[in-house]
Chains A and B, each alone.
Chain A
Amino acid sequence: MKGALRREPLAGIFGVLGLLVTVVVAVQSGDVPALHDSATIWVVVAFAVTIVLGEWFHISAPGFRGAAPIALAAAFGLALTTDLPGKVHLPYGAPFALAVTATAMALGTTVRVAARRDTSLVDTAGRFVAIVVATLVYRVAVLGQAPGSPARQTLGTPEQRAALLLGICLLALVTDALFTSLLRGLSAGANVRRTFIEEFRSSFALSIAVAVTGVLIALAAPPLGIVALPLFLIPLVLTLFAFRRYVSIRATYLQSIRTLSRLTDAAGYTPSGHSERVAALSVQVGRELGLSERELLDLEYAALLHDIGQVALVEPIPGGATVLAAPADQRRIEADTVAIVRETGVFEGVARILEHQTTPYRQVRELGEEIPLTSRIVKVVNAYEDLTAGARSARAREAAIERIYLGLGYEYDPRVVDALLKSLGSSAHA
């Protein structure tokens, strides 16, 4: 818990406060249903257990916002369900529903943190905000429900109710995305608008499915009772299995990139570990220059693959150092590299970086050619790695930097070289 709190203190404090406030308000306002009302208690327990489980089976993947679709859908269901079969009205209002959600979410998250699973408190807090919005808007603003009394159904046809509930859930999800990007922006100093757009886009489809599931649970509860909860969650659970497949697809591509990057090592064209070193250093330099996570991922892949075209050479270049090869040869290797990477069909961004990895910087200055910053990074870092040939001594480093300075502004982008020096300096101190 401490580790997670230290990383995301704001979200942690917010979560604990939310839990306390909702529980206190629920008890104070007398919204807690009587214990002997076993039908109500069972419904609430079913929702709470599902939320805890949903928080535990939480999904995350690189380039994808952490999410707990089952928990969120069940929590929407709890917020919006007011009736059971036989015209039974559930005898609690917004405060109790929120207190149950907060407790279940806190429990699920605590278990996850205690088990040392990867957890994001910001995302959990965001989910809670979504539920607060949905519950307050529906139960207080629309239904005008008083604490401790059942909701009087005054809404129109089932269709109108469905449309209304969907609208409320969407509003809640937008608030969630806004809240999390604000929190992230505050702690990381990132651009809030950009984070918001990225958050919203990356989770849009899944969020819609979650919102609809929550609404469907609430709509099906009057005829079906609590059975509606597991029944309508099944499609979402099946989709989670598909999500695992999605993650494994990403893993396959990553594995094939790693394998490809080792091919030139295995074939003796490049010194062993060259691509990995270029990749690690490129990412450091990219961070220094403020690239986004997405660009950093492409940069890392590009750096891993930058030499793969060398497999076409009949005789290896001495030491695998492309920086010492004739410019025409460099360009041929580059063309082969790009052709191989294009064959994957999914790494267009990577191929575009590699297309310009040998282009001298002066073509940007003199001819106004557009060369991606990421390509310039690969060029500089590759040169540095070729020149030091893996040696880590201060002398090898200085000699390499000196060679690079000779090409400063002509071959290499001075900004990138500055960033390289900075990241070399910081790693030397570390």
Chain B
Amino acid sequence: MTDLVPVLAAVVPTLPLVGMLLALLARTPRQANVVAVAMAVPTAAAGLLLAVISLARGGQPALRGQWYLIDGASGVLLAVIAVVGLCSVLVSPAYLRTSGRRWTTAARSRSLYYGALFLFWAALLAVPIAGNLAAAWLIVEATTAASALLVAFSGRRDALEAGWKYLLLTTLGLSVAFLGIIVLAIGQANAGHHNLHALDWRALQAAAHAMPAQPTLIAFVLLLAGLATKIGWAPVHNWLPDAHSEAPPPISALLSAALLPSVMLIAWRVKEILQPSVGASTTRAVFIAFGLTSMIVAVPFLWRSLPWKRLLAYSSVEHMGIIGLGIGFGTPLAIAGVVLHVVGHALAKALGFYATLPLLRIQPKAASHAPNAVAAQSPATATAMGVSLVALAGLPPSPLFLSELLILLGGLAAGYLLVSAIAVIALALGFLGLLHALVEGVVGDDRGHRRRRSREERPTIALTAILGTGMLACGLAGVLLLPGSGFVDSLARGAL
């Protein structure tokens, strides 16, 4: 099967680019929908096939080509991006049917929406397999342009504000990260490595031991500080709540479930590669500091009565903090937790954002206010929101309960007692905040709202069943397969 890898590595990002071109050529909204679904299925299938091939190799060394690098972490991210991308395309017609005012004229808006979505998806699929730091940066920068347009797709003033803020802040952040890349390139050039491949992950790994400590430390700090902006780590997360809450729900799902962990993967690789020069204690401290700060900063917002999507956005800040903390701990237990957390968070968060579509139909005011007694009006929507909230809060049998437990145990195993204790308190407070949202917003009092017909609720029921089952399966697989596996051990050793 590994013979297929070079072909698949080229096909996976190319298929959505073809989808983009075909969507832009569509003449009617119906044509655009058909093209989008027709291209989304093979794109997701190719992405999943590559993910399966990579994951089936367990703890074996990464697959490398001239332009790609596919390791276990690539496999996890590819699977997540393929599934969430497919779901986002499939729910998009429902969003576009009811989305009122848009950036452009109605006739072109659907083509442009799918065009930007497929471009964004192509870039996302390319990030985990990029074999070169600078190439990965270029691809992440390209996601900004496509996704900023999608964030502001509704054309409302708040969406324009969110899109502009997202474009400006993440571009500035990525500029700082690029400064770090140039500093690394200077170091490589001084060592006699001039061409593009001097910034390959493999070349950097080979050169790391001989890199001068001070410029490499500067490069590491600049890279992490810049990437933190795009990951949504506090205190440079300001764009995230606005962009995630104003973007169309299918795009919010991609931003939260796929974009943030993809950029996190680059940060993780930078840590593993520069660690021999910068020092393990420094690289770990930077990840732990960002992780813990994000978890603490998110808590007050999780306690407030926020609009549904804004609540989910702050939950993303919290969960990126948890993942950062796990990478910072770096023990096999913590890394097993990180892998499980990335998958579980993606499914739970995507379900939460997709539930916005039926929610806004039954409670249009939920766009700017906290939802109220959803269960009384639509049990299916309330179930979707409830499953998402319970999973994100980390209540058993959510895979996030297990992943958080693994990360904390990993922290204790690494000797980070105080950090683990603070993280437990932050997690407990975040849990209470989300539980409050569940009780008040989803369950709540029945105030004589009209119940929706069960037929209208079928898509929501199907999506909840699929993603809910996926979460349970992921939790089960996490318990049975991850801790102590060669796959996790190789990731913890920084396999690239």
A and B co-occur in one complex:
no
